[in-house]
Structure 1
């Protein structure tokens, strides 16, 4: 079962912290955004390369295992999710990645009577009275650690997100595959 995280409920592990910070960064730009990809790098590694960054970091950001998310530009928006992720390979100094995508969620029975034409199916889902717009963030590290966050558009104002490790197993596996040699 997902856990709900809010500003009043602290999270302490570095991957969850960077995932929450990244999701809030994306949320600041509103809804109806294209997919976004972030490299996750140990903050200490960045500071070694660029010492001037130290002046902009909070005490929490300076923790030994802290991670920094670096947005990757140039995703091919017209490509499928599988195609986008299938072309990604990370250099050794990238410790993990996070992918953010918006989706429409409907009750399982709503998918039973969908038209076979994909465009018509998408239109039917968009019109479904029980649809929920969600933003999904999946983040993984090279060692296999993962976390997923889901924010519902209907509950956007309260800044609460559901968190868990098994909310999007297919997406987690696809992100983890970007680190396979």
Structure 2
């Protein structure tokens, strides 16, 4: 159950590990990819429900689940519904109780605050401004949330595309954390 206040919970190491693993997986495919969505399930519980799963999972995932009951396995969701925006996609997603959390990976272009203040109001002009701005940064954002309110974000900048340079934190992208959490309600 989520906390009553707006302060994000400290992440469980399993969630941080899962989000970073998902981000590295997506990074292996290069840049300019689509939005990708993953269900997160507790590996130990999944193995208890389906012992044959041990033969289909990597041995290291099975060993990790035996060592840590909170270990998470990600399951990429294919055939996402057509959506006009990320917000529209998230509004169309819901998860059964057997899913313990969800993760999403999306690429965005960001600007420094001072540059954002000068962005034109017209959407077409704003897009042209954003794409031509010399200080723009392309980033890949991976966000994971759990039903219990835990969250973790991983952010990779295209300009510094290295696994060791991926930033991580519970609330790096609070709006996306909140939006993703609503899909679990």
Please tell me the TM-score bracket, short chain as reference: 0.7 to 0.9
Residue correspondence of structure 1 range 81-160 to structure 2 within 5 A: 81-160=86-165
The CA deviation string for residues 18-52 of structure 1, in whole angstroms up to 9 with x for no partner, is 11111100000000011111000011233234434
- Rounded to whole Å, the distance in 1 between the matches of 2:116 and 2:17 is 34
2:44–2:65 contact (8 Å) kept in structure 1:
no
The alignment partner of 2:84 has SS state of: coil
Q: Which residue of 1 aligns with 2:174?
A: 169
In structure 1, the residue matched to 2:7 is none
The residue number in structure 1 matching 2:64 is 60
CA distance in 1, matches of 2:34, 2:104: 11
Match of 2:29 in 1: 29
Query: Which stretch has the larger CA shift, 120-129 or 19-28?
Result: 120-129
Q: Is the alpha carbon distance of 1:146 and 1:93 closer, same or farther for their aligned partners in structure 2, counting shifts above 3 Å? A: same
Q: Count how many residue pairs are aligned between Structure 1 and Structure 2.
A: 170
Residue 15 of structure 1 corresponds to which residue in structure 2? 15
TM-score (norm 1): 0.86
**Native 8 Å contact 1:34 1:77 kept in 2:** no
Please list the CA deviations of residues 39-75 of structure 1 after superposition, one character each: whole Å capped at 9, or x if unmatched: 0001123323443432422122443211001011122
Please, which runs of 5 or more residues in structure 2 have no aligned partner?
1-10
CA contact (8 A) 2:81 2:92 kept: no
Q: Is the 8 A contact 1:35 1:77 kept in 2?
A: no
The DSSP-based 3-state class of the residue aligned with 2:131 is: helix
**Cα offset for 1:114?**
1.9
Q: Distance in 2 between matches of 1:64 and 1:148?
A: 21
Aligned Cα RMSD in Å? 1.9
Q: Which runs of 5+ in 1 are unaligned?
A: 1-10
Match of 2:54, SS?
A: helix
